[in-house]
Structure 1
Amino acid sequence: MTYDFDLFVIGAGSGGIATARRAAQYSAKVGVAEFDRLGGTCVNRGCVPKKLMVYAANFPELFTDAQGYGWSGMESSFDWEKMITAVNNEVDRLNGIYQKMLDNSKVEVLRGYGTLVDSHTVLVGDKQVTADKILIAVGGHPIKPNILGIEHAITSDDIFNLKKQPERMVILGGGYIGSEFACIMNGLGTEVTQITRSDMILRGFDDDLRKEIQQGMINHGINVINNVELIAIEKDAEGIKVTVRKDGETEETVVVDVISLAALGRKPNTQNLGLENTKIKLHDGSIVVNEYSRTDEENIYAVGDCTNNINLTPVAINEGRAFADTVFGGKSRTMSYENIPTAIFTMPEAATVGLTEAEAQEKYGDRVKIYRTRFRPMYYTLAGKEEKTMMKLVVDQNTDQVLGAHMVGTNAAEIIQGVAIAIKMGATKANFDATVGIHPSSAEEFVTMR
C-alpha cells in the first residue's frame, strides 16, 4: 500500500521535532501535525522561559554580593513587563528557528489538531493523511485538582502571560516546578508562600537535598507551609484568600493577588486523539509502550510526557531519536533510563544523578556508604553570606561503584552534568579519589570527600 508519509508525527514538541528531523535524515518522508506553537511545553511554557526568569531573579543577589568585593551600592528597579516581553520575544525567535529546521529537513508541517481515524490515518483539521508509521508526541498539561475555589487559581503555564507582577503570591504544591517558581517570584520581589501536603518539598528527591533546598528557600524569605491537609480558596475585596488546615486543627489564612497551581500534577494530552479507533492501551491516562516506544498498535509509537515515563525534555528527545534510528536508520537501540541527571533551578540550585540514599539502601541495604560534605563556597566569604553548598555521594561498599551524586549550591547543574558521565560509565569511589581536583572550586569537593 502507498502512504502519504513514511512517518507522521502528532505533536511538534521537543520529542516530536527531534524524531521528525532524525527520520528525515534517513530519507523518510515525514509530516508533523501541530495546533499550537512549535517546541511544545519546554520552549513555550517550561524550560526555556522559566530559565530566563531564573536568570532575571538572580540579579538582586548579585548586586548585593558585589558590595563585599568593593563595588559601591546601587539602586535598581525591576520592570516586569519588560522582562516578560523579552522572554516571550525569545520564545518567538525559537519558534522561527524550529520552523526553519523542519523546513530544511523537508518535514511538512500541518497546522491543526491531529486525530487518529485508524492505525494508518490521521485527520488534521479537514485534511486526512495516511502514514506507514505514526508517532504520538503530544506531551502533557497541568491539572487543576478538586479544591474549593479552584477557579480563582492559574496554572504554571499562565505565569508567563501575567501582565502585572503580583505583590503577593501563593504557590500550591511542592514539586520541582512549584519550588522553582516560588524562588523565581521571590527573587523578583514578590512575597511568596508555598503550600505543600508533604512534610517537605520535592518528594522523590534525596532527603538531604530536599532539606537543604527547603531551608535555603526559607532563608531567602519564602514562607513554606508543610503538612497541609485541607485548602480552601475564596475571593473578596481584600484579594484572594487561601485558608489551609494542618496538623488536624490549626488553620492559617494567606491573602494574595495571584494563586499559581504550579506543582499539583500534570496529565498526558491523550484526550480526543482518536485512540479508541486503534488498539492503543492507556494506563492512568498514559499511553502504554514497550522498550522500543511501540504501542499495542504495531505501527504506532509514542514518546515523551504522553507516556508518563520520565517527564524530561532530553528524555523525550532521546526516546524519539532511538525510535527513528531503529525504525528508519537500521540501528536498533533503546533508551536507557538509568542514571538520568536532572536539575532543580531553585535558589539554591540543585542537581542529581543516580540513586538517592533511600533508594540505594532499599536495593543494597548495609552495603551503602554515604560521603557528604557541607561548606560555604569561597565566593560568599567576601559577600558576607552564610550560603552553604551540600554535596553527597552514594557508594556501594562491595563494588566501590558510585550509585548516586547529589548537590545543592551554585552551578549545581553544570557540575553534576560532568559527574553524570562518570556515573553513567560505572565509576568507582576510587576513580573519584584518583582524580585531581581543580582548585579552588566547589566541584573539587566531589573528588576529595573521604
Structure 2
Amino acid sequence: MEEFDVFVIGSGVAGQTVAKACADKGKKVAIADRREFGGTCANRGCDPKKVLLGVTEIWEEAQNLKGKGIEKLPELNWKKLQKYKRSFTKAIPAATEKNLKKKGISLYHQSPEFVDERTLKVEGKTAKAKNIVIATGYEPRKLSFKGSKHLSTSDDFLNLKKLPKSIIFIGAGYVGMEFAHMAARFGVRVTVLDSGNRPLSAFDADLVGTLTDYSKKLGIKFIFNSEVKAVEKLRKNFRVSYKSGKKMKSLTSKMVINTAGRIPAISALNLEKGNVAFNENGIATNNFLQSETNPGVYACGDVSDNGLPLTPLSGREGYVVSENILNGNRKKLSIPVIPSVVFTLPNIASVGYSEKEAKSRFKNIIVKQASALDWFNAKRINAPAYSYKIILNERTQKLVGAHILGPNAGETINIFAMAIHKGMKADELQSMLFTYPSLVNDIKNMV
C-alpha cells in the first residue's frame, strides 16, 4: 500500500495548483487522471475552442465589411485550422506530466475509487492519503433516450478532421451556441434543438433575443420547446425524432451532437464508500472547500458545489485548498463577482445581477438599456448587433449588473466586473479616462 500526504484526483488547473503547492512544501503527493494530463480547458475545452474560433472572427469582420473596402472574403480551411489547433494542444499532456514529475509527484493514469474515507483503489493498487482532493471537473450530461449511443460530444466536434454537411446540436447552452456559430460560418447546415423556449437561459432574455435573430440570419435553424425521443442511424445520415407540443416530428443530418450541458464528473469515484456527500452541483463543501461529511476530503474547481464552473475560479479554489491542507482551515473561499461570456459572434457577456435578480434584492433599480448600433464603434466595423443593459441600485447609484451583446463584449465586460467588485458608482466610471475611440470607452455612454 502506497501512503501519501495528499492524493489529488484530476489534473486540470485546480488539481495541479494543489499538487504543486503541497509538493513545494515537502508533502508526499500523488495525482491521478483517467484522461490526458492537463485538464479539460487546455486539452479539449476553452483553449482549443478559442483557436478554432479565431478564423471565424476574421471571416465575420470581412463579411460585415464586404463592399466597404473588402472585395473578397477569406477562404476558410478546416483541415489547416485543425492542424494549427493541434500545435496548441498536442504538447500539453506530456509537458504537464514532466512538470509534475519534476516536483516529485507520483502520477496515476486512471480514475481512483474510494475504498474507505482515506483509501483509494487505483491502477490495481491501494493508496492511502491523509488528504484526498477531488478536482475532476465536469463531463457531458448523458442523455438516455433510444439511440443516444449515436450522439457525438464536444470532444468529437473539436477533433473533427472534416466538417459534415449538416449537424444537429441537442442543447442551446454555451457549447451548443458557440459550436453552432462556428459550424454555420464554415458552411455547415446547422439545427439547434432545445427543450426550453430560448437559448442561453442564464443570460439576459432581451439580448439573447437579438442574438437569436442574428443567428437565424447566419442560417442556424432553432427548434425550441422540443423533447428528443430517439436517434436512429440510417445508411448515410442520422434521424432525430422529437416531440413538439403533442406532435412527433423528425429531421435528419450527418451528425448529431450532445450539447445538453455538463455535470460534475463524480460517477466513477464511488463516493458513498468514502463518506463524501454530493449534490447535483458537485461535492458538498463548506467555506474551506472541505467535504461536509469527510474532513479528510477537499474539492476544488468545477466539481465543487461552490461558485460557477469557470477556469479562473478553479485556480483560486485550488489555492484555497492547498492553503487549508498546509496550514489548517484558515482560508475561506471568497468569490468575487464573476463575469461570464459566450463566444458566439457577436459575444454575449454578463456580470453581476440580472434585471430580475436586481428587482428582488433592491427597493428601486435603474435599468439603462439601448441599442448601440448607431455608435461609432459599431458603424466603423458595420457590426450586425450591439446592445446593452446596465443595472444600477437607485439609492446608491452603484453598478450592480451589466449585460452586453456586441463586438468583443467578452473583453469589455471585464471593466464592468472590476467596477462592480470595487463598488463603483456610475459617475465614478464616467469620470475615468479610457483610450478613444475604443470599445471600452463606450461604457461611459452605457452607464
Q: How many angstroms apart in 2 are the aligned matches of 1:271 and 1:412?
A: 36
1:277-356 superposed matches below 5 A: 277-284=273-280, 286-295=282-291, 296-309=293-306, 310-329=308-327, 332-356=330-354
The reply to whether residue 88 of structure 1 matches residue 86 of structure 2 is yes
The reply to whether residue 186 of structure 1 matches residue 173 of structure 2 is no
1:347-386 superposed matches below 5 A: 347-364=345-362, 366-376=363-373, 378=376, 381=379, 385=382
Residue 47 of structure 1 corresponds to which residue in structure 2? Answer: 46
Q: How many angstroms apart in 2 are the aligned matches of 1:446 and 1:281?
A: 44
Q: How many angstroms apart in 2 are the aligned matches of 1:271 and 1:382?
A: 51
Q: 1:5 is aligned with what amino acid? A: F
Change (3 A) 1:381 1:421: closer
Q: How many angstroms apart in 1 are the aligned matches of 2:151 and 2:34?
A: 25
Q: How many angstroms apart in 1 are the aligned matches of 2:145 and 2:126?
A: 41
Tell me which of 203, 226, 238 is aligned to 1:228: 226
Does structure 1 conserve the Cα–Cα contact (< 8 Å) formed by 2:240 and 2:252?
yes
Q: How many angstroms apart in 1 are the aligned matches of 2:434 and 2:249?
A: 49
| Displacement after TM superposition at 1:347 (Å) | 1.6
The reply to whether residue 108 of structure 1 matches residue 106 of structure 2 is yes
| Displacement after TM superposition at 1:45 (Å) | 1.9
Does structure 2 conserve the Cα–Cα contact (< 8 Å) formed by 1:134 and 1:300?
yes
| Displacement after TM superposition at 1:68 (Å) | 4.4
> What residue ranges of structure 1 are gaps of 5+ in the alignment?
none
Does structure 2 conserve the Cα–Cα contact (< 8 Å) formed by 1:287 and 1:302?
yes
SS in structure 1 at match of 2:139: strand
Q: 2:330 is aligned with what amino acid? A: S
Does structure 2 conserve the Cα–Cα contact (< 8 Å) formed by 1:206 and 1:358?
no
Change (3 A) 1:149 1:123: closer
Deviates more, 1:206-215 or 1:64-73: 64-73
Deviates more, 1:419-428 or 1:95-104: 95-104
Q: How many angstroms apart in 2 are the aligned matches of 1:25 and 1:372?
A: 50
The reply to whether residue 419 of structure 1 matches residue 393 of structure 2 is no
Q: How many angstroms apart in 2 are the aligned matches of 1:142 and 1:339?
A: 26
Q: How many angstroms apart in 2 are the aligned matches of 1:349 and 1:274?
A: 39
Residue 430 of structure 2 corresponds to which residue in structure 1? Answer: 433
Q: 2:216 is aligned with what amino acid? A: I
SS in structure 1 at match of 2:90: helix
Q: How many angstroms apart in 2 are the aligned matches of 1:33 and 1:304?
A: 15
| Displacement after TM superposition at 1:379 (Å) | 5.6
Q: 2:118 is aligned with what amino acid? A: H
Q: How many angstroms apart in 2 are the aligned matches of 1:109 and 1:230?
A: 41
Identity of aligned pairs, percent? 28
SS in structure 2 at match of 1:154: coil
Change (3 A) 1:5 1:349: same
Could you report, residue by residue, the CA deviation over 1:332-371 in whole angstroms, capped at 9, with x for unpaired residues?
Answer: 322233521111111211221111111111222x511111
Q: How many angstroms apart in 1 are the aligned matches of 2:214 and 2:65?
A: 20
> What residue ranges of structure 2 are gaps of 5+ in the alignment?
none
Could you report, residue by residue, the CA deviation over 1:76-98 in whole angstroms, capped at 9, with x for unpaired residues?
Answer: 2x433332233234212222332
Q: How many angstroms apart in 2 are the aligned matches of 1:238 and 1:325?
A: 55
| Displacement after TM superposition at 1:258 (Å) | 0.3
Q: 1:270 is aligned with what amino acid? A: I
Residue 210 of structure 2 corresponds to which residue in structure 1? Answer: 212
Does structure 2 conserve the Cα–Cα contact (< 8 Å) formed by 1:3 and 1:132?
no
| Displacement after TM superposition at 1:255 (Å) | 2.2
Does structure 1 conserve the Cα–Cα contact (< 8 Å) formed by 2:211 and 2:385?
no
| Displacement after TM superposition at 1:285 (Å) | 7.8
Q: How many angstroms apart in 1 are the aligned matches of 2:124 and 2:162?
A: 39
Q: How many angstroms apart in 2 are the aligned matches of 1:379 and 1:400?
A: 27
| Displacement after TM superposition at 1:128 (Å) | 2.5
Does structure 1 conserve the Cα–Cα contact (< 8 Å) formed by 2:13 and 2:39?
yes
Q: How many angstroms apart in 2 are the aligned matches of 1:84 and 1:435?
A: 42
Could you report, residue by residue, the CA deviation over 1:248-306 in whole angstroms, capped at 9, with x for unpaired residues?
Answer: 44x654321001111x1323222232323222112248321111111111111112232
Q: 1:404 is aligned with what amino acid? A: G
> What is the TM-score of this pair, normalised by structure 1?
0.90
Q: How many angstroms apart in 2 are the aligned matches of 1:14 and 1:63?
A: 36
Residue 21 of structure 2 corresponds to which residue in structure 1? Answer: 22
1:61-72 superposed matches below 5 A: 61-65=60-64, 67-68=66-67, 70-72=69-71
Q: 2:181 is aligned with what amino acid? A: C
Change (3 A) 1:17 1:386: closer
Q: How many angstroms apart in 2 are the aligned matches of 1:192 and 1:51?
A: 20
Change (3 A) 1:255 1:379: farther
Does structure 2 conserve the Cα–Cα contact (< 8 Å) formed by 1:238 and 1:255?
no
